[in-house]
Structure 1
Amino acid sequence: MLSDMLLVSAPGKVILHGEHAVVHGKVALAVALNLRTFLRLQPLSNGKVSLNLPNIGIKRHWDVTRLHSLDLSFLEKGDATVPTPEQVEKLTEVADVPADCAVTERLAVLAFLYLYLSVFRKQRALPSLDIVVWSELPTGAGLGSSAAYSVCLAAALLTACEQIPNPLKDGDGISRWAEEDLELINKWAFQGERIIHGNPSGVDNAVSTWGGVLRYQQGQSVSLKRPPSLKILLTNTKVPRSTKALVAGVRSRLLKFPEIVNPLLTSIDAIALECERVLGEMEAEPTPEQYLVLEELIDMNQHHLNALGVGHATLDRLCQVTRSHGLYSKLTGAGGGGCGITLLKPDVQRQVVEATKQALTGCGFDCWETSIGSPGVSMHLASLLDAPIRQALDIL
């Protein structure tokens, strides 16, 4: 059993191309976003297991002896990757979450307990741990925050109980697990996502686990080899939307106008495949012409998504603002508000980026300068983290 502190991080995600079309069997390109969730796990000797999620105001602890005395046989039932309604109900009883706790907070606690109890249930005794999770990702923005949370939990807990090795023992600074260990992390993270979302596709946790770019189609995902890291502006319009309602709206439009919408979906599929081809060529030495192609694809896809009915006035405004500065943007995710991405070519001038960010924040949007194609779940030496992250995790 672990005797030292562990520090793990995992990225969020954005959809580069293929949102909505992927629901109808087309290709989607999901990319790791270099805004990350961080988890610190420390062994304790006080007989407690503690969970602290400062981003959403959760601080809970449980008595390890009491948890160990409970009948946890319900964890043995059901499909290994599909938590049953009975399991969720039993977890709710074990968690003892206050009745007035918001849904997001309650599900985060249940996902943690499910993974903690499941991973350690075959140990002679449940370990006493202190876990703090802090994120650069906003919640509820379609950026894979829950998946990054589940991936961090899975990686830390599996390492703590020595089901997978600590990769820092064989590396320096930042290390990643071997492929078979990532498979196990992804499997358990998917279970956490099932607790939170019920019926997720598995794309978000896979991107957070492996990082880079993932090609997803009809339940199958393939990682692109050594994709380029692309700089972007990520903009949150802060307009809430219902993914379920937007997906239903596209389906309704498809049924009403099949000869119009089917070609749109086919064209979005072609855009994703062309982007995949260009990204593959950029592995060697990216050229200015390739970045121009990426911009064209972004612009075309945004118009297609508007034609599907998933645009929004704020997203139009985002595209207008960035276009006035010579930059190209599209929505990412469900649309109807939410987030958009803007490609920043390597030769874009610093003053252009700053002026664009200022204009977007002037519209009332949140804006981050970041990158996509970043590494997946990783183990860190605490001393090498940026000071704000160390401070946020209370490990200065």
Structure 2
Amino acid sequence: MLSDVLLVSAPGKVILHGEHAVVHGKVALAVALNLRTFLQLQPHSSGKVSLNLPNIGIKRAWDVARLQLLDMSFLEQGDPTVPILEKLEKLKEVADFPEDCTDHERLAVLAFLYLYLCICRKQRALPSLDIVVWSELPPGAGLGSSAAYSVCLAAALLTLCEEIPNPLKDGEASSRWTAEDLELINKWAFQGEKVIHGNPSGVDNAVSTWGGALRYQQGKISSLKRPPALKILLINTKVPRSTKALVLNVRNRLLKFPKIVAPLLTSINAISLECERVLEEMATAVPAPEHYLALEELIDMNQHHLNALGVGHTSLDQLCQVTMAHGLHSKLTGAGGGGCGITLLRPDLTGPEVEAVKQALTGCGFDCWETSIGAPGVSVHTAASLDAPVWQALDGLCAGQWASSS
């Protein structure tokens, strides 16, 4: 079994095109967002297994001996990789939640315990270890934070138990697993997502596992040729919304105005397909200005379509107006009704120009990140390969110096 510290990261995701239309059988393009979740796993012999999630204020520990004595036959009923309600109810007993624990916290802990017990129970003894997970992704913003968490857990625990080899070779700063090993990571990460979300599509964990860009339609997921990492601004309007309510509103509008809304959905599908074509062209040739112009036009058209579907919001209108005043193009990403938007940054933009846009957006009360899409999927790292703030955060947390994230 692995004895060294293991450092793993996985990206979040944004929907580039196809929001809401995907619910009605159309194509959606999901891309890996280079805001990442980082996990540090430290094996030891203290007889404890601990989980520290500073972003949501969780710090829990369990006695390995107590877990070892549990009747874990409930994990073996039927297919052991399919969580069922009865299994989760038994896991809640194992977790021993305090009364003031929120649902969000419960689900994060249950996902960890499920993956830890299922993956590690084949060992002669359950391993003692400390896990710290720290994320650049804001939770609950539709950016795949739970999937990145599940992917990191699956990759780290499978590597710890030597179900998959550690791909990091001497002298390498970072590395990725083989396609076969990524399949296994994704399979287990999907189970973690099921614990958290009940009936997820599988898109978020697939993007976080493989990175790059994926095409999703009616349950089928396929990878696109890896395009260049496109620079974007990710903007969180911080306006809360209900994905379920927004999806229902689009469905009702389709029923009320089928001859208007059905063509809109077909047109959004065509936008996704054209974007896919442009991205694949950029992956096989040197990206040219006309590629970025096409991407900008597609962004504008899709944003207007989404407004026509009724999933826009005044905050998103303001976001688009602010960036358009600087010659940039934006759209909502995800469910809409507030939430997050993305702005494409052309390669000809200067640092001061980008900074001016960021200041204008933060002046509206929005959170803003300068990042990229098309990022690599789940990876393993040496400490030296991580940015100093990331490593210092993880190292400090593992030393018990942090109680919550900044």
TM-score by length of 2: 0.96
5+ residue gaps, structure 1: none
Aligned pair count reads 396
Shift of 1:97: 1.1
Q: Which residue of 1 aligns with 2:102?
A: 102
Shift of 1:227: 1.5
Q: Which amino acid is the alignment partner of residue 269 of structure 2?
A: D
Q: Which residue of 1 aligns with 2:385?
A: 384
Q: Which residue of 2 aligns with 1:85?
A: 85
Q: Which residue of 2 aligns with 1:316?
A: 317
Q: Which residue of 2 aligns with 1:138?
A: 138
* 3-state DSSP of counterpart to 2:341: strand
* 3-state DSSP of counterpart to 1:167: coil
For the structure 1 residues 277 and 172, does the alpha-carbon distance in structure 2 shift closer, same or farther, using more than 3 Å as the test?
Answer: same
For the structure 1 residues 89 and 304, does the alpha-carbon distance in structure 2 shift closer, same or farther, using more than 3 Å as the test?
Answer: same
Q: Deviation digits for residues 235-279 of structure 1, max 9, x if unmatched?
A: 000011111111111000011111100000000000000000000
Q: Which residue of 2 aligns with 1:175?
A: 175
Bigger mean CA offset, 82-91 vs 31-40: 82-91
Are 1:12 and 1:137, in contact at CA under 8 Å, matched by a contact in 2?
yes
* 3-state DSSP of counterpart to 1:22: helix
Bigger mean CA offset, 284-293 vs 73-82: 73-82
Q: Which amino acid is the alignment partner of residue 102 of structure 1?
A: T
Q: Which residue of 2 aligns with 1:294?
A: 295
State the distance in 2 between where 1:359 and 1:89 align.
48
Q: Which residue of 2 aligns with 1:192?
A: 192
State the distance in 1 between where 2:249 and 2:82 align.
28
Q: Which residue of 1 aligns with 2:114?
A: 114
Are 1:47 and 1:64, in contact at CA under 8 Å, matched by a contact in 2?
yes
Q: Which residue of 2 aligns with 1:124?
A: 124
Are 1:12 and 1:143, in contact at CA under 8 Å, matched by a contact in 2?
yes
* 3-state DSSP of counterpart to 1:393: helix
Shift of 1:228: 1.6
Q: Which residue of 1 aligns with 2:361?
A: 360
Q: Which amino acid is the alignment partner of residue 326 of structure 2?
A: H
State the distance in 2 between where 1:310 and 1:76 align.
43
Q: Which residue of 1 aligns with 2:48?
A: 48
Q: Which residue of 2 aligns with 1:305?
A: 306
* 3-state DSSP of counterpart to 1:19: coil
* 3-state DSSP of counterpart to 2:56: coil
Q: Which residue of 2 aligns with 1:158?
A: 158
Q: Deviation digits for residues 291-324 of structure 1, max 9, x if unmatched?
A: 0000000000000000001001100000000000
Matches within 5 A, 1:221-300: 221-283=221-283, 284-300=285-301
Bigger mean CA offset, 209-218 vs 341-350: 341-350
Q: Which residue of 1 aligns with 2:12?
A: 12
Q: Which residue of 1 aligns with 2:350?
A: 349
Shift of 1:82: 3.1
Q: Which residue of 1 aligns with 2:402?
A: none
State the distance in 2 between where 1:235 and 1:226 align.
24
Bigger mean CA offset, 175-184 vs 95-104: 95-104
Q: Deviation digits for residues 20-41 of structure 1, max 9, x if unmatched?
A: 0000000000000000000000
State the distance in 1 between where 2:202 and 2:112 align.
18
TM-score by length of 1: 0.99
Q: Which amino acid is the alignment partner of residue 51 of structure 1?
A: L
RMSD (Å) for aligned C-alpha atoms = 1.0
Are 1:78 and 1:84, in contact at CA under 8 Å, matched by a contact in 2?
no
Shift of 1:350: 2.2
Shift of 1:81: 4.4
Shift of 1:226: 2.1
Are 1:212 and 1:373, in contact at CA under 8 Å, matched by a contact in 2?
yes
Shift of 1:144: 0.2
Are 1:81 and 1:190, in contact at CA under 8 Å, matched by a contact in 2?
no
State the distance in 2 between where 1:173 and 1:53 align.
25
State the distance in 2 between where 1:44 and 1:97 align.
25
State the distance in 1 between where 2:47 and 2:81 align.
30
Are 1:227 and 1:279, in contact at CA under 8 Å, matched by a contact in 2?
yes
* 3-state DSSP of counterpart to 2:116: helix
Shift of 1:83: 0.9
* 3-state DSSP of counterpart to 1:55: helix
5+ residue gaps, structure 2: 400-406
Shift of 1:79: 4.1
* 3-state DSSP of counterpart to 1:110: helix
Q: Which residue of 1 aligns with 2:404?
A: none
Are 2:80 and 2:118, in contact at CA under 8 Å, matched by a contact in 1?
no
State the distance in 1 between where 2:304 and 2:116 align.
45
Shift of 1:87: 0.7
Q: Which residue of 1 aligns with 2:338?
A: 337
Q: Which amino acid is the alignment partner of residue 95 of structure 1?
A: A
State the distance in 2 between where 1:201 and 1:323 align.
33
State the distance in 1 between where 2:233 and 2:122 align.
45
Q: Deviation digits for residues 82-113 of structure 1, max 9, x if unmatched?
A: 31000110010000111210111110000000
Are 1:95 and 1:110, in contact at CA under 8 Å, matched by a contact in 2?
yes
Q: Which amino acid is the alignment partner of residue 360 of structure 1?
A: L
* 3-state DSSP of counterpart to 2:26: coil
Are 2:236 and 2:366, in contact at CA under 8 Å, matched by a contact in 1?
yes
State the distance in 1 between where 2:15 and 2:78 align.
32
State the distance in 2 between where 1:76 and 1:169 align.
35
* 3-state DSSP of counterpart to 2:153: helix
Shift of 1:80: 4.6
Shift of 1:349: 2.6
For the structure 1 residues 340 and 264, does the alpha-carbon distance in structure 2 shift closer, same or farther, using more than 3 Å as the test?
Answer: same
